[in-house]
Amino acid sequence: MAPLEGIRVIELGQFIAGPYCGQLLADFGAEVIKIEPPQQGDAMRQWGRSGRNGRPVWWSVIARGKKSVALDLRRGEGQQILRDLVRDADVLIENFRPGTMERWGLGYDALSAINPRLIMARISGYGQDGPYSERAGFASVCEAAGGLRYISGYPDRPPVRIGLSLGDTMAGINAAIGVLLALQHRHKSGKGQVVDSAIYEAVLGLTESLVAEYDAGGHIRERYGSALPGIAPSNAYPTKDGKEVIIGANQDSVFGRLCEVMGQSELVNDPRFSDHRARGVNQEVLDGIVANWTRTQDAKTIVDLMAASGVPVGQAYTAKEMLEDPHFAARESIVRVNEPKGGTLAMQNVFPKLSETPGRVTRLGPDLGEHNEEVLVNGLGYAPERIAELRTAGII
């Protein structure tokens, strides 16, 4: 059995944060019923690059393992269908702007009156309360509020973003953790509760001692490019074949091994690099020495030499290198999932790995409304005639 088998989840969220929470729960066996607007579906169906069939592949990943029900929640009949679904649900995920569910008569008070065991995971930019709660909050702006953007990039340029919606995915992870904690509490109490996951707080939680450094000594952490101030050598270095390798050799004994690999053992006794603090003070000079050496070697040679000598090293991988890497293959870090019309689609596997009850990817993201009859007729007992009426009226 998968660890979440038997747990029914109703997912109302769109874009990334809510659906990513649903993806994680589906990966580990939960039955996730994805509720989407009847005409256009979740906006994620249109995002990202298209695959061989002409359809964006991001949907195939973020909606994997889910069932799709097309339902108009802005209309009374659609709201009543959701209430019927909630009666036997364990979890409801939503990431609308705070207050939206309440305007539809679907707030936690209303839904928990129907099902006191219901756990409601609410994901938003700034949380369910506070003066900013009603603000729209995408990952980009909430990453700025949470402190990540200010420290990302180079000191002589504006802040940069990484090529992922990190705030959204972290908020989804936090929501999934909250759901698991709430399920554990429900085992003891029999009662559900609200999980409030804010994107800016998900980012804030990653910022290590950033706040404490300012509070204790007035220090504001600044942008420092591809390294951390005072930590050397630990950076991205160029290679002979035009790639980049990441080397982390800032600990004393590891630095010694790096020097041996480079054929420059004398650097260990150089006063500028003799201990951690000295290397930090002379970081720029040391990074230049390492870079001058890495430019004479191709990336694979550097990785092989460093790995053999116990120096942390890694090439900056693209998806191409991931698919070719034997370690990824041995651990099945990337899985191929069958496509409905033939062929397979590669994507990241389910993490973390559990020895007894591992998760797995069961199928790609569903077609819009693919499971209307299964969920509404087989699950709720709606008559086929009613399904036809709802479809004609545009409710489903």
Just list the catalytic residues: 168
Distance (Å) of CA 335 to CA 20, 48, 49, 187, 347: 18, 20, 19, 33, 6
Per-residue tokens: 52: 């061989």
DSSP state of 378: I
Strand 31-36 to strand 119-124: parallel, antiparallel, or no bridges (unpaired)? unpaired
Contact by Cβ (8 Å): 161, 138 = no
Q: Quick one: how far is CA 311 from the chain centroid?
A: 29
* Residue where the block lists tokens 């890694």: 314
Question: Which of 194, 180, 147, 138 has its CA nearest to residue 16?
Answer: 138
Question: Which of 52, 145, 37, 49 has its CA nearest to residue 82?
Answer: 37
- Torsion from C-alpha of 137, 143, 147, 151, nearest 10 degrees: -150
Give the residues across from 315 on adjacent strands. Answer: 245
In sequence order, the 6+-apart residues with CB closer than 8 A to the CB of 203 are 142, 143, 145, 146, 147, 148, 166, 167, 170
Q: Is 214 helix (H, G, I), strand (E, B) or coil?
A: helix
Instruction: Report how far residue 374's alpha carbon sits from residue 201's, in angstroms, rounded to the nearest whole number.
Output: 38
In sequence order, the 6+-apart residues with CB closer than 8 A to the CB of 250 are 231, 232, 233, 234, 276, 279
Instruction: Report how far residue 109's alpha carbon sits from residue 61's, in angstroms, rounded to the nearest whole number.
Output: 33
In sequence order, the 6+-apart residues with CB closer than 8 A to the CB of 242 are none
Amino acid (1-letter code) at residue 42: D
DSSP H/E element including 281 = helix 276-281
